[in-house]
Structure formats: C-alpha cells, structure tokens
Chains A and B, each alone.
Chain A
C-alpha cells in the first residue's frame, strides 16, 4: 500500500508550489526590502543607494503616525465588535425560533456582497441630507450628520461598514461551533439548576474559545487587508482621518508613485504582521489544545 513516490515526481510536485510561493511571496518581500534602501528613481532623478534614509523619513512622517493610530483604533474597534455581534447572531439563529433560515440568510448576506458594492451602498446611506441615515435622524427631528466629511466620524463610519460586512461570516463559524456543543453538558448543568446565562458563560463560551481564536486571527488579518471601502468612500480623508496602513501604502506607491517609500512602508507592515502572527500562534498553541 505504502508505495514510495518516485523521487523525480516528488520533486516536481514540490517545485510547483514552492515556485509560486517564491515568486509571489518571498521574492516580492525581499525585493521590497531591497527597494527600501534605494531612492525613487526616474528619468530626471538617477537611481542611487540611500541606505536608511527612507527609514528616517518613516520615523519623521506625521501622516504615518496618524495612519498607525487609525489602524490601531480600527483593529481594536472592529475585532471585538464583530466577534460579539457574530456570537449574538449565531445564538439567535441557533435558537429554535420561527424564520431561522431567513434570519441566517439576511445575516450572511453582507458577507456575500463584494466590498466595493458594500461601500457604494453605504456611501448612499451616509450621504448627509439625502442618505438613509440622515432621513432616519430627520424622523426624530435631529440634524443630519456629515459622517464621511468630518474628522470625528469618518473612521468610525468605516469601522461600522467593516463590522456589518464581516460579522455574518464569523457568525457561520460560531454557528458550526455552537452546533458541536454537546447537549448532555447543557442538560447536566440544567439539572444542577444553572440558568441560561450561566450555561452560556460557563459551558458554551469556553467551548467556543478555539473558534474565537481562529476568528480573531482572521479578523486581525482583515483589519489590515481590507481597505476597498476606504478607497471607495473617503480616500483616507478628510485630512487623513480614515486612512489605514494598507491604504496609505497603496496611495504612496501607486498614486504618488514613490516606490521606494512604498517599499519601506511595506517592510514595516510585513514586520508588524509577522509579530502579530507570532503572538497569535503562541496564544493559539497555549490555549486551543484542550479539546
């Protein structure tokens, strides 16, 4: 049964994925690192080695400070909120209530839409004066809020869209996990006189922990990876109040065509994500193995 794979075939099968990995992950990352030590050359400015000059720019970049603060606030705000909402929705659709399948569909709907479409829908919701949000405020006699046009609300508006979009996907994971919670544990608890709240916090929630860690990792990656809505809705404005790190990299690299500084920012992001991933794996290894 255990036939040995011919060595040549094994190599071929190894080479194909390795080539893809090298071509699309390792080479670009290495190239970004190299580019970050050079200036941004053009026909009017010869290319030259500048050492750590780009990194000095990075340290003195006021916009980057704002962008990093935005990204941190965005991640800290969206991840717990999306997870909390996802658990709530999963509990709701897991309960034996009428119309469950319709509820599941409507909770999952935002996840199926492409982010660009979502952003355009919300662009209309947020439009001051004419949008849905303003009309609802108007029903209560409240003045319209300029959601995307003021520095106080633009980032929060972006976070709201992200949570709305992502919670449905996370709900699916939680739903699967909830259905795997053994009924006999809950029955035993009920016999002991525990109420539904106690059952949830002492039995269900601990059993959901591996799912939560998995979802948190995904949410964290998405918090840095998804910037489509920023591009469509605010372009990072007003006054950089809704600019996230990846959006800033996109803007510096492709709009301002400063490939050297874009590469420097990319190195920063890769390092940042690397550290976050390491921390998460450490947490994962410690906490997720008791099942």
Chain B
C-alpha cells in the first residue's frame, strides 16, 4: 500500500517535473482586462505585462483592453463560446457563477497544486478569497479588489464646526452631521449636500450591499442560489436611504455612480460613498483637505467587497495554463501588487505587498489607503448568484423605484424577491 502510494507520489512528482519542463516551452497568451476606475490603469497594466514578457522571452503575451467590466466579460464569453478564449482575463469577482455555468474557466487550484502554490494561494486576504471559491475549489486570484469607503471634505467639516478627524460612524450620526454640512443659498437651493450615496444601477446595488452588511445580514451566500432581497436588513437599508433625502441631507431622486467623484471634487457634496478605486483620482484633483473613513453603519461597520479577479480559461493547452499561472503570480507578486495599488487605489490583495518599502511609503503619504484595508474585516462578498445579471436587475429595480419615489420599500423588495426566486428556483 505504502509502496503504491509512494510510487503514485513519485509519479506525480515526475509528472510535475515534466510539467515544469514543458512550461519552458513557448505559450502565446492573450490577456483581457477591463478598466473600472478613473486612473491610468491601462498604462500600468501594459508596463507590467511588458515586464513579464521581457522576463519570459520564451512566451509572448498580448494585453487587450476590453472596455469596462461588463464589456470585458461579454467579450471573453463570446470569444470562449467561439472557441478562441483569452487564456487569462481579469473579470468581475461576481461573474464567478456565470463563468462556471458557461463552463469556460478552469479551477486555478487544479493547476496550482504544489505545496508552494497552495501557500501562495493562502497568502491572499481571506476577505478577497470568499468569492473566488466554489464547491471547495479556488477559481480565481484576487487582483483589482476594492471596497467602498466614506470620503469626506475636512474643510467642509471645519466650516460646519465638526471635528475633521472624526467622520460619522453610524447612520444616525450621518444624518445629524449631514444636516450641519448641508448649505443653502439665498434662494433656498442647496449648494452643498451633506452626503452622496449613489443609488442607481449596479454601483447603487453594490453600496446597498454594504448597508445590508452593517445591519448584520448578507444579500447572497456562497451557494450562488440564494438571494436575500426581502429581509428586515434590506428594508431598514432602503428606509435609511429615503431618510437621508427626507431629512434634507442628500439630494432626492436617483444618484448616479459616475457623477459622484466629480460632485465631491466640485464641493457639491461634503462627503460621498465610492470605491477606493477612486483614491488616486481624488488625491490628484482635490483642492481641499480630505479624509476617508469606514462606511457609517446601521448596527456596526459593514461594507461590500468588489472588483476583479484573474481567471484562467478552458480550451487552453497545459503550457498555456502554466504560463498563465506564472503570469498571474507575477502580476500579484508583492512588488507588482504594490505598484498596481499605488497607481489606482485598489487594495493590494496580499499582506506581503503591504510590507514592501514602496507600499509603506505610500501608506505614509496617503494614510487614507489603509482605511479600506482595515475595513476588510467587516466586509462581505458582493451580490453574486447564478444568472447574476438577471437576478441583480430585480434588486436594482427595487432600489431605483424606491429612491425615485415610485414604490414603497416593502412592496418593492417583495416583488424583487419573487422575481429573483423565480430565476433561482431552476438551480435548487
């Protein structure tokens, strides 16, 4: 028995050696990536990709900027269905279930199966691995991950007589401080709102997830077949959004994701909820003193985790998979993860990246960057199920219909839950 096991073990080792040997042979990689932030992301990705290619002259890699997240996923899936997938791509972490259902990706834990590889996978923050795993396998490697944080204008806080070093921590404080921060002109029109939480579209749904987490619940679970849209936590969260505008702290009606950083920089709002992916953009353009805090919570801190992961596609040769894995390891290595994080504001996904001298200097210069990292302990996965786009749309419709005053929270959430259950029942 033991001999057999040993034999099998050595066979495996031999197989692995041969794999290692074949990994030296050439592979031509195509790498799709999206850009979802206001940052020089394309240049940084291209520079990193070129560096990997220079270090691995036996391989070649073509980095393809494929638009925003949604467009990149569509392109990658279309290419995969046509039998010409990219070998490796950065796609939304919440696309995991879609990619599994379409049967186009391979589990990275099946390729990266040496002890060193396992150690490497274990080296990522647990919070970022939650939505990279399914049925016991690791399908994705965190790369451009973010959480939303509370950005605030310290000068506006000072002008309102508030302490610029203590941003609000709870929903009640947000309303209370927001009232002081709201400024009106002689005509009674608001020139500076207290806060701004985007409520429209997918960005709105993402932030809504944070509200729900802070009330001690989650919107979806790791099974991919459960949507918890109609719960006390979601109802409280929607009512809080309504309260913000009822109390005159936030502009009434739907609030768009895209305009929000601009509104903050122009002084139209004293604070905003948006992704850490905007840190670099705000740092570059803010003409005032600004700070970052945890998202104020209902019962405690809470935030959603978002962003993109590396996936390796099926319909690839062993050599290509090995090369793709090596490429991913290179891109997420401490030095490169630090470079990427500094260029964009994304949260470097590994503790060892934060130990690099570049990252330490960055954290010293921009301590705001550390807030998202600390908030990670209170963060939960973003809304993700099978048929994600369809199911999320029910949630988006519910939020939008309530904030635009076309429906009551309870009724809207009930309808959304029914719609979502209808879709997900197929999978149970």
Interface residues of A (CB under 8 A from B): 42-45, 63, 123, 127-130, 138, 141-144, 146, 148-151, 235, 237-241, 251, 254-258
Contact A143 B253 (CB under 8 A): no
Interface residues of B in 354-395 (CB under 8 A from A): 386-387, 389-390, 393
Interface residues of B (CB under 8 A from A): 70, 74, 77, 98, 100-103, 187-190, 200-201, 251-256, 258-259, 262-263, 266, 268, 386-387, 389-390, 393, 396-397, 400-401, 403-404, 406-407, 426-427
Contact B262 A130 (CB under 8 A): yes
Contact A43 B102 (CB under 8 A): yes
Say yes or no: A239-B101 contact (C-beta < 8 A), given A45-B426, A146-B253, A149-B256. Answer: no
A146 shortest CB reach to chain B, Å: 4
Contact B387 A146 (CB under 8 A): no
Contact B102 A130 (CB under 8 A): no
Return the contact of A130 from the options B190, B268, B389 (Cβ within 8 A): B268
Cα-based distance from A255 to B77 in the complex (angstroms): 11
Quick one: closest A residue to B390, CB to CB?
Answer: A256
Quick one: closest A residue to B104, CB to CB?
Answer: A43
Contact B393 A128 (CB under 8 A): no
Cα-based distance from A175 to B231 in the complex (angstroms): 61
Return the contact of A239 from the options B256, B386, B397 (Cβ within 8 A): B397
Cα-based distance from A10 to B100 in the complex (angstroms): 51
Return the contact of A256 from the options B252, B387, B404 (Cβ within 8 A): B387
Contact A149 B268 (CB under 8 A): no
**B-chain residues with CB within 8 Å of residue A44 when the two chains form the complex:** 101, 386, 427
Return the contact of B404 from the options A128, A239, A254, A255 (Cβ within 8 A): A239
**A-chain residues with CB within 8 Å of residue B252 when the two chains form the complex:** 146
> Which of A45, A129, A146 has the most chain B CB atoms closer than 10 A to its own CB?
A129
Describe A's contact surface by its main secondary structure.
loop
**A-chain residues with CB within 8 Å of residue B103 when the two chains form the complex:** 42-43
Contact A129 B101 (CB under 8 A): no
Cα-based distance from A37 to B20 in the complex (angstroms): 49
The 7 closest A-B pairs by CB, nearest first: A149-B254, A43-B103, A238-B400, A239-B400, A238-B254, A146-B253, A129-B268
**A-chain residues with CB within 8 Å of residue B262 when the two chains form the complex:** 127, 130
Return the contact of A128 from the options B251, B386, B387 (Cβ within 8 A): B251
Return the contact of A257 from the options B98, B251, B393, B403 (Cβ within 8 A): B98
Cα-based distance from A43 to B98 in the complex (angstroms): 10
Contact A143 B189 (CB under 8 A): yes
**A-chain residues with CB within 8 Å of residue B256 when the two chains form the complex:** 127, 148-149
Cα-based distance from A87 to B389 in the complex (angstroms): 44
Say yes or no: A42-B201 contact (C-beta < 8 A), given A149-B404, A151-B406, A255-B70. Answer: no
Say yes or no: A149-B406 contact (C-beta < 8 A), given A130-B268, A143-B189. Answer: no
Contact B427 A149 (CB under 8 A): no
> Which of B102, B253, B403, B407 has the most chain A CB atoms closer than 10 A to its own CB?
B253
Contact B201 A127 (CB under 8 A): no
Cα-based distance from A102 to B2 in the complex (angstroms): 90
Contact B400 A237 (CB under 8 A): yes
**B-chain residues with CB within 8 Å of residue A148 when the two chains form the complex:** 254, 256
**B-chain residues with CB within 8 Å of residue A239 when the two chains form the complex:** 397, 400-401, 404, 406-407
Quick one: closest A residue to B97, CB to CB?
Answer: A44
**A-chain residues with CB within 8 Å of residue B404 when the two chains form the complex:** 149-151, 238-239, 241
**B-chain residues with CB within 8 Å of residue A237 when the two chains form the complex:** 200-201, 254, 396, 400
Cα-based distance from A50 to B190 in the complex (angstroms): 55
Quick one: closest A residue to B269, CB to CB?
Answer: A129
B342 shortest CB reach to chain A, Å: 28
B316 shortest CB reach to chain A, Å: 17
Contact A127 B427 (CB under 8 A): no
**A-chain residues with CB within 8 Å of residue B189 when the two chains form the complex:** 138, 141-144
Cα-based distance from A138 to B387 in the complex (angstroms): 44
Say yes or no: A238-B390 contact (C-beta < 8 A), given A128-B251, A128-B259, A143-B189. Answer: no
**B-chain residues with CB within 8 Å of residue A127 when the two chains form the complex:** 256, 259, 262-263
Contact B253 A149 (CB under 8 A): yes
Say yes or no: A254-B74 contact (C-beta < 8 A), given A130-B262, A143-B189. Answer: yes
Say yes or no: A256-B389 contact (C-beta < 8 A), given A146-B254, A239-B406, A240-B397. Answer: yes
**B-chain residues with CB within 8 Å of residue A256 when the two chains form the complex:** 387, 389-390, 393
A-B contact pairs, 26 of them (CB 8 A): A42-B101, A42-B102, A44-B386, A45-B426, A63-B397, A129-B266, A138-B189, A142-B187, A143-B190, A144-B189, A146-B252, A146-B253, A148-B254, A149-B200, A149-B253, A149-B256, A151-B404, A237-B200, A237-B396, A238-B254, A239-B400, A239-B404, A254-B74, A255-B70, A258-B387, A258-B390
